[in-house]
Amino acid sequence: MCRDIRDYIGHDSQLAGVEEYRLTGGKGDGMRIFQVWNGRGLEFTVAADRCADISRLKFRGVNMGYFSPNGYVAPSYYDDRGDGFLKSFTAGFLTTCGLTAVGSPCVDEGECLPLHGTIGNTPAEHICWERDGSQIRIHARIPDERIFGNKLVMDRVIVCSLEDNVIWIEDEITNRGDRPCPLMILYHMNVGYPLLTERARLTILSEQVRGRNDHAQRELKHWDRITKPQEMFEEQCYYHTFDKEGAASVYNPEIGQGLEIRFDAEKLPCFTQWKMMGKRDYVLGLEPGNCYPDGRDQVRRAGKLTVLGPDERAYYKVQVRMTEEER
């Protein structure tokens, strides 16, 4: 039987849509958020004042991401000294790191760079949404510019399918300055409970994997093992490389759900797996990037630093798919 669905509903948002809110109270007071749902079980939140990142992610009512003890933190509380980033690291499902620094705090060519850069604590300058018969699209512009310094701008589009449980994050980054500018980006995607438990199965289809440091390297044969939360757990990071297409997935048979991340491994050749099995700090990071999080000084010395010339652009795209079976 063929139905005209328009005859059954009063407003389009009865089935799918976007609603804009402001948070009240605590360190997140006043932050703009966009709540998105596609009518097929996918629901997520875009934090307009935090780089239009995805803070909440749910599938069929089940939480998929990790929310740190910090909770929502407005940009006005951001501390750009050393590892001050950790005091406002909400994590959420996606925190974007960059755009001129990723990873460890360092000094590079005389410039003091904070942990993971500043873009993740930068509000969107413009943000709006649109909907057609098959997609919801959120458009945001996030500047990373300063006088007498680098001038990068990121134009982000988050696309949500109305026909399938898929999200695409599409970023175009432009150098609007008059000099070459370093470009570093890492998509810090964070999986949490109840998707993440000791029953969860991690699959990363990489060609090679190595530990970031000696501690991680000693546990290399267990890189894909998810444990129960542990006291005093020391984080482990693993660096993966792919051939052409990058893919990683987590599936938990306890809830019969999972998610899969796919990306172009030629444009985002560095994939970091952040394994943090601590009590309350219980999170798995799946992080495509154009660099590893070792700090800009080390990336430069290794000859792997991406640099954009004046008016030059770079384009990155990551797909996130909700799943009901192991991939």
- On whether the 5-323 domain is CATH 3.40.50.20, my answer is no
Q: What is the pLDDT of residues 269-295, one digit of tens each?
A: 999 999 999 999 999 999 999 999 999
The pLDDT of residue 38 is above 90: yes
Cα dihedral sign for 203, 86, 102, 311?
A: positive
The pLDDT, as a whole number, for residue 325 is 85
Judge whether 293 and 102 are in contact, CB under 8 Å: yes
The pLDDT of residue 298 is above 90: yes
The pLDDT, as a whole number, for residue 3 is 79
Q: What is the mean pLDDT of residues 54-73?
A: 98
Q: Measured between alpha carbons, how far is 242 from 263 in angstroms, rounded to an integer?
A: 10
Measure the N-to-C terminal CA separation of the chain; round to a whole number of Å.
33
Residue 312: band (very low, low, confident or very high) from pLDDT cuts 50, 70, 90: very high
The pLDDT, as a whole number, for residue 208 is 97
Q: What is the pLDDT of residues 70-84, one digit of tens each?
A: 999 999 999 999 999
The pLDDT of residue 176 is above 70: yes
The pLDDT, as a whole number, for residue 137 is 98
The pLDDT, as a whole number, for residue 122 is 98
The pLDDT of residue 172 is above 80: yes
Q: Between 4 and 154, whose confidence is greater?
A: 154
The pLDDT, as a whole number, for residue 244 is 85
Indicate the domain borders of the chain: 5-323
Q: Of 5-9, 191-195, 197-201, which gets the smallest average pLDDT?
A: 5-9
Judge if the upstream peptide bond of residue 194 is cis by omega within 30 degrees of 0.
yes
Q: What is the pLDDT of residues 83-126, one digit of tens each?
A: 999 999 999 999 999 999 999 999 999 999 999 999 999 999 99
- Beta-bridged to residue 275, according to DSSP, are 236, 284
Residue 1: band (very low, low, confident or very high) from pLDDT cuts 50, 70, 90: low
Across 134-265, the runs of DSSP E, i.e. the strands, are 135-145, 151-161, 166-175, 181-191, 201-204, 208-211, 236-241, 245-252, 257-264
To the question of pTM greater than 0.85 for the whole model, the response is yes
The pLDDT, as a whole number, for residue 275 is 98
The pLDDT, as a whole number, for residue 291 is 98
The pLDDT, as a whole number, for residue 6 is 82
The pLDDT of residue 327 is above 80: no
Judge whether 74 and 30 are in contact, CB under 8 Å: yes
